[in-house]
Structure 1
Amino acid sequence: MACAALYGCTVYQPAPPARVGPTPYQVSLQRKAQIEHRIATQHHRIDARVSQGYIDPGYGGALHRRVDAIQRELNDMASQQGGGISGEEQRVLNEQLDGNNRRIGR
């Protein structure tokens, strides 16, 4: 009897709340973009320091190769993550770039 009374009722589910902020995939792409920006900045700084005479051209070339190795590592990580990188991977790359930054600033 109770089932018959509910037969004509329609229950509406509320819409799920709208997502606020970027998706996890967008965040991983933003992390990659931040690292790429740091890499480009380091290449520019190395070139500037060499042209100003603060860094020997041979040492500048070694620094460029180190930054290129970090770029390859970034690309390897991103290819495994669908184009972006995780927070832990970003931390590791930032530590490597920080070390390189200290070498550039000598």
Structure 2
Amino acid sequence: MSFTGIASAQTNWDATHPRRVEVNQRLANQDRRIHQEVREGEMSHATAARLHRDDHQIRQEERDMASQNGSHVTRREDHALNQQENSVSRQIGQ
């Protein structure tokens, strides 16, 4: 079973909640940007690994927040997650 399947089996989260979708779409986009930078030789593998770890931490925080709020992310939490994503985003493509 995949990691995603395990997470889905253990929770009843509303993964389609608009704020959760926004956070996860941004994380997926950043993942693509990191891979592209590595392919183009603009970013080292070590830097990419660090940024992936940062994104993983943000994704885990989003899941933790949702599990405490009836499958939703509050506006305040969404703002905090977006600030963290902005920080990672600024490090991509420097």
| TM-score (norm: length of structure 1) | 0.72
Letter aligned with residue 80 of structure 2: V
- Selected match of 2:27 from 36, 39, 52: 39
Partner of 1:9: none
Question: Which protein is bigger by CA-based radius of gyration?
Answer: 1
Q: Structure 1: which 5+ residue stretches go unaligned? A: 1-25
Residue 18 of structure 2 corresponds to residue 30 of structure 1: yes
- Selected match of 1:71 from 51, 54, 59: 59
Cα distance in 1 for partners of 2:82, 2:29 equals: 13
Question: Which 4+ runs in 1 deviate beyond 4 A?
Answer: none
- Cα deviation, residue 105, structure 1: 2.2
Partner of 2:88: 100
CA RMSD of aligned residues (A): 1.4
Identity of aligned residues (%): 32
Cα distance in 2 for partners of 1:105, 1:96 equals: 17
Cα distance in 2 for partners of 1:31, 1:69 equals: 17
Other structure's SS at 1:64 match: helix
Cα distance in 2 for partners of 1:84, 1:48 equals: 31
Q: Compare relative contact order (CA 8 Å, sep 6+) and give the higher one, 1 or 2.
A: 2
Q: Structure 2: which 5+ residue stretches go unaligned? A: 1-13
